[in-house]
A and B are shown apart, each in its own frame.
Chain A
Amino acid sequence: MIRSGRAGLFCLLVLAAGVLVAGCRSQKVITTPSEEYQHQGDRAYVQQDTRGAIDHYQSALQAGARTTTLHNNLGNAYFKERRFNAAEQSYLDALELDPEYFFSLNNLALALYHAGDRQEAKRLIEEAKTTFPHVSFLHTTDGYFRFLEDDRKGALASFRKAIGINPDSPAALNNLGVIYLEDPDLGEDPLPYLTRATENAGGNKLFHDSLGWYYYGKGMFAKATIEIGKAFLYDPQSMEVRVHYATVLEWIDKDREALEQWETVLEHAEDAETRKLALEHVWEIRGRGVDGKEPG
């Protein structure tokens, strides 16, 4: 999927819908130690330090805090660590406090889907959509599930519905743009969607990767480097973004920097296909004697 470029990014972006709103809710005056822990957890989460975020949130729970936002954010941190069962439990805790807390409903469905319980996840999101028809990110998640199950038509309809409800919904805009980017036969230009997604993304710079990848495809390498560079600085842990960054660096003649990135991908990437791609590039760049070393 890395070559065509999208699946991983897609997932994080859908989850972000819940995270961002929950994050915003926690922006209030801090009065108790548990609130301080929560605040530190939010900060760590935004800075991509999910393990730190989990520690702070758990400290907040131990200090007696019990809010939907806290459980939801803890769930999101677990989700990012790919600890889906723990995430599921946190979302359930949030829903126990407020069964109509649709951020957690949305994220619970995502956690269930990734934990393998796809039917339950889809049922949950269908129910949530019926109960809260005007919550745009529920449609975005629905579209995401459909996209993963190769129901492109359904995914398109869901993303469009989400945008119909909220024209500034960054995840829906990005995902729709990504579908148009990957499938030029649909005849839609992805640029307006991807641009608008970055305009409305707030602090989440991951959306810039999709826009950058569009520019790369068009041969606008300087713009591509800027956009993907933003996403890369925001989340250097994302192998997909790093792969994109390394790719564009090669096209702007920064082979040494690209080599560094490809070597990191080769070392840390989890899936075989990404490692294979990195290996090809490492060989190719070193094979040209760019770093002055004999390849081997």
Chain B
Amino acid sequence: MPVGYPGMKRRKGESRFGWKKVRIPYYVLKTVIVLLVLALVAVGGSIIWARYQGEGSAIGRFLSVVTRKIDERVKLLTTRNPEEEILTQRFATLTFYSGSVEVQRSSELRWKGAVENMQLETGDRVRTFSNSRAEVTFDEGNVLRIKADSLIVIGDLTENVRTKVRKSSVRLLVSSIEADIKKSVVRGSRFRLEMPTAVADIEKARFSVDVDEEKQSRVRVFEGKVGIDTGTERIELDGRKTIMISALKKLTKPENLLPAPRMKSPRPLQRFFTSAESLPVNCEWQAVKGARTYRVQVATDRYFDKVVFSKANVQKTKFLIPELGGNVFFIRVGAVDSKRREGDYSEPVPVRIIIDRVPPHLEVTKFVVLRSGGSREVLVSGQTEPFAEVEVGGRPVSVDDSGFFSAVVKRFSPGQKEIEIVARDRAGNVRNLRKAVSI
């Protein structure tokens, strides 16, 4: 039976349509309204915050990913032409900076201080001040190292949703950069650098570009190949070549650069042990054809911002780096030609100097003196640290990988009453024990 039909007799407290009156206490209503307002403020605030922070905030990232995905789906569903390019936006990341580095978002006029791991999108600008440096990482490990007093603009950052082909570009204003562009996993992907008077297309290369205030660009290609196009001239610059592009789009004749020397020692990730405050480290490299001298550098960081030792005019292909203290160091060598032009540096070799002042553990687990004919023999076994050297009675004894040693010592002088067992670790610390050899 329907409730509340016209003409129905209403009971007390019942509305015309059969609705019941419910009394909500005022404080409950007030609380609900306050909560609703707070929720609205929170949601609105988060969205405004996300918009202001862009990819810098978690909500911003979330919103951006959701919008992008919806956008992609809609494009995929609505496109009629299967050949049509559907592009999705990507991001670069400011993975490192030191000193004073600022970022200007494409949608803003204000420059803001850089934040490590902030995402950069098309149109964003990055500038470094003197004694500063920044590193921008693109997909697939492509890295752009921005040196001091530079200004760059992030250009295209797209991926074709269907083919996965990625296109990236960066515009260089007055700047000095080094780039390491890897060959993409997907064929057709491209990295482009736009200089004031030319464009460089890179598939795979390690190179540097310096753009000065007169809009002249110096391109040095250390490895790989860089295609340079001024609009009037085009050139493929191979590895170990350098070229100058003038403000009038004129290209100079490519000149040769010396290759990087190949380090022979120390080995990458080699560890050196010492009981002293510091240790000299010997380094050696393969000769470079055309090199007149070499430059050796040691730093405490891989990018040689913190150089602790530098030596130019090294004539030979080996050099003893004096006294490195307990730390991790990076060593590199570069060749210099007869015109004093510096070639590429070798790949930095990380080494660690470990200061160890504790004598090695030494434990004799078995020590048996035997009479053999007219003389004596000693059976000795024990344990020390792996890699320690052990001598028993002045004679070296082999030590296995876990530090165990065992030996039979013969031929004692008639009056000898004890023998010495000596363990010496890699740092040169010594521990010794004396044992009686009388029967």
Contacts and interface: CB of A to CB of B under 8 A. Distances in A.
Contacts of A168: 164
A263 to B, nearest CB: 15
10 closest pairs, A vs B, by CB? A219-B350, A191-B141, A192-B140, A289-B358, A288-B356, A192-B182, A295-B361, A167-B164, A195-B141, A283-B385
Q: Which of A195, A217, A219, A284 has the most CB of B within 10 A?
A: A219
B402 A193 contact: no
Given A194-B141, A280-B386, 13 more contacts: A189-B182, A189-B204, A192-B140, A192-B141, A219-B302, A219-B330, A219-B348, A280-B387, A283-B385, A288-B356, A288-B358, A289-B357, A295-B361
A22 interface: no
22 contacts: A167-B185, A167-B186, A188-B183, A192-B185, A195-B141, A196-B140, A217-B268, A217-B269, A218-B302, A219-B328, A219-B348, A221-B350, A250-B352, A279-B401, A279-B402, A283-B385, A283-B403, A284-B385, A284-B386, A289-B357, A294-B361, A295-B385
A64 interface: no
A251 B182 CA distance: 27
B350 A276 contact: no
Contact of A220 (B302, B355, B403): B302
Contacts of B363: 296
A98 interface: no
A173 interface: yes
B352 A195 contact: no
A199 B139 contact: yes
Interface in A247-280: 250-251, 253, 276, 279-280
Contacts of B185: 163, 167, 173, 192-193, 196
B354 A288 contact: yes
Interface string B323-364: 000001010000000000000000111101011111011010
Nearest to A220: B302
A219 B386 contact: no
B184 interface: yes
B306 to A, nearest CB: 14
A219 B402 contact: no
Contact of A287 (B183, B349, B385): B385
Contacts of A295: 358, 360-361, 385
B204 to A, nearest CB: 8
B182 A191 contact: yes
Given A217-B268, A287-B361, A289-B358, A192 B328 contact: no
| Chain A: interface size category | 20 to 34
A59 B363 CA distance: 55
Contacts of A193: 185
B425 interface: yes
Interface of B: 139-142, 164, 182-186, 204, 268-269, 302, 328, 330, 347-350, 352, 354-358, 360-361, 363, 385-387, 401-403, 425
B402 A276 contact: yes
Contacts of A253: 328
B121 to A, nearest CB: 17
A191 B360 CA distance: 41
B268 A219 contact: yes
B154 to A, nearest CB: 18
Nearest to B186: A167
Contacts of B358: 287-289, 295
Contacts of B164: 167-168
B402 A287 contact: no
Given A219-B350, A221-B328, A288-B354, A279 B269 contact: no
Contacts of A250: 352
A276 B268 contact: no
Nearest to B352: A251
A167 B161 CA distance: 11
Contacts of B349: 219
A245 to B, nearest CB: 16
A193 B140 CA distance: 7
Interface string A190-231: 011111100100000000000000001111110000000000
B386 to A, nearest CB: 5
Q: Which of A279, A283, A287, A289 has the most CB of B within 10 A?
A: A287
A221 B329 CA distance: 12
B181 to A, nearest CB: 10
A218 B349 CA distance: 8
Nearest to A296: B361
